[in-house]
């Protein structure tokens, strides 16, 4: 059975080939790449040898098969992934602006990912579960919020903790209930895996460090925060301790999925009881390798590859 259960969207990504390319005019696109934040997280955790199950819904089409095949190849338990007959596998289109920002078009809430129901959440999945991992990006509709809350209750009842990545998508925050659901799950989590933008959403007007201190002071069950800072590395925090972690050099080809890979590596290291400093190095290495490949899961790495990378690569200096 699964020690980590993930729940949410299994998508494919279709990516603009050139920086500055618009989604408003014909151009060269690349894909389909298996994607979806919970799926990327599950895949990276499985590559590190963790027993991981993903609860998700796909269409009965080639895009769904592409995602399923990838997850199976990498060792993710896919029995809880349901094919929806009359819906199409979700798709995220992404284009990259010259300033580094990304623009998205999603077929998600109305497509197969939005069809997840309570019946898809088999209580037996949580028998040996240590952590339910939830992505804020999956809380995209009232229906998804209800199903994921149900999964969180089952996980809690089975003695598992909640690992939560707020993964805030500004375009989703205007939907009813989404912002509140993200805030609530952040308050209930044992492990929090935010970005600086996520912290600014949860506690506006504070520095990341101050926000993390506030979260640790006000959420008694919160064990630790692993702040993902992209090209600036990361920051680990528990009560009374903050550990900045320097980044590894990386040639950024595609940033999608890097934070998910870093978070998954952090959670597996913690589950396995790896030394903290090694866990943090491996998590940053997973992020660096993830951005170096085009496609959100194409840079996911098994443990041996991460180990070799940190053995032969010097971290960059810590900035600010």
> Is the CB of 33 or the CB of 266 nearer to a second copy?
33
Reduce the DSSP state of residue 230 to 3 states and report it: helix
Total binding residues for a second copy by CB under 8 A? Answer: 36
Chain positions 43 to 72 lying near a second copy, rule: CB under 8 A, are 59, 61-63, 65-66, 69
The answer to whether 50 touches 268, Cβ cutoff 8 Å, is yes
With b for 16 or more beta-carbon neighbours within 10 A and e for fewer, the 93-126 pattern comes to bbbbeeeeeeeeebbbbebbbbbbeeebbeeebb
> Is the CB of 175 or the CB of 183 nearer to a second copy?
175
Residue from 18, 19, 20, 27 in contact with a second copy (CB under 8 A):
27
> Is the CB of 32 or the CB of 161 nearer to a second copy?
32
> Is the CB of 156 or the CB of 175 nearer to a second copy?
175
Closest by CA to 121, choosing from 102, 138, 101, is 138
* Residue showing tokens 């209800």: 146
Draw the binding track, 214-253, toward a second copy (x: CB under 8 A; -: no contact). Answer: ----------------------------------------
Draw the binding track, 253-292, toward a second copy (x: CB under 8 A; -: no contact). Answer: ----------------------------------------
What is the phi/psi pair of residue 107, to 5°? -105, 95
Furthest-apart CA atoms within the chain: distance in Å: 53
> Is the CB of 144 or the CB of 283 nearer to a second copy?
144
Closest by CA to 228, choosing from 151, 297, 286, is 286
CB of 316 to a second copy, least distance (A): 30
**Residue 25 makes contact with a second copy by CB under 8 A:** yes
The answer to whether 176 touches 207, Cβ cutoff 8 Å, is no
Residue from 37, 56, 87, 116 in contact with a second copy (CB under 8 A):
87
**Six token digits for residue 44:** 């990276």
**Six token digits for residue 29:** 């696109």
CB of 35 to a second copy, least distance (A): 11
The answer to whether 291 touches 252, Cβ cutoff 8 Å, is yes
Question: Dihedral through CA 285, CA 286, CA 290, CA 292, nearest 10?
Answer: 20
Residue from 57, 89, 195, 300 in contact with a second copy (CB under 8 A):
89
CB of 105 to a second copy, least distance (A): 5
Q: Please choose, out of 107-115, 207-215, 247-255, 283-291, the segment that lies near a second copy by the rule CB under 8 A.
A: 107-115
* Residue showing tokens 């998804």: 144
For a second copy, the binding residues (CB under 8 A) are: 14, 17, 22-33, 59, 61-63, 65-66, 69, 86-89, 91, 103, 105-107, 109-111, 175, 295, 298
């Amino acid at each position: 059975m699964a020690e980590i259960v993930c729940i949410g969207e299994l998508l494919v990504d279709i990516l603009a080939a050139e920086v500055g390319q618009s989604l408003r005019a014909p151009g060269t696109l690349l894909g389909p790449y298996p994607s979806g934040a919970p799926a990327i997280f599950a895949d990276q955790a499985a590559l590190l040898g963790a027993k991981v199950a993903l609860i998700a819904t796909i269409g009965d089409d080639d895009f769904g098969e592409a995602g399923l095949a990838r997850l199976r190849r990498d060792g993710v338990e896919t029995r809880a992934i349901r094919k929806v007959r009359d819906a199409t596998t979700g798709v995220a289109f992404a284009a990259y602006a010259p300033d580094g920002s990304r623009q998205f078009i999603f077929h998600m809430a109305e497509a197969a990912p939005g069809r997840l129901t309570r019946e898809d959440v088999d209580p037996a999945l949580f028998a040996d579960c240590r952590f339910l991992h939830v992505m804020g990006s999956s809380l995209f509709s009232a229906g998804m919020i209800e199903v994921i809350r149900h999964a969180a209750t089952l996980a809690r009842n089975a003695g598992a903790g909640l690992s939560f990545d707020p993964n805030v998508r500004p375009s989703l925050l205007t939907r009813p209930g989404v912002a509140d659901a993200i805030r609530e799950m952040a308050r209930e989590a044992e492990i929090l895996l935010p970005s600086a933008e996520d912290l600014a959403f949860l506690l506006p007007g504070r520095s990341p460090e101050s926000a993390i201190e506030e979260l640790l002071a006000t959420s008694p069950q919160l064990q630790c925060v692993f702040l993902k800072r992209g090209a600036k590395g990361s920051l680990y925090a528990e009560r009374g301790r903050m550990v900045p972690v320097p980044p590894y050099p990386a040639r950024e080809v595609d940033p999608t999925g890097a934070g998910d890979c870093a978070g998954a590596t952090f959670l597996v290291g913690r589950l396995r009881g790896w030394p903290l400093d090694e866990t943090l190095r491996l998590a940053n290495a997973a992020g660096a390798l993830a951005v170096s490949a085009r496609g959100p899961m194409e840079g996911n790495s098994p443990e041996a590859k991460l180990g070799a990378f940190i053995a032969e690569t010097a971290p960059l200096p810590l900035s600010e």
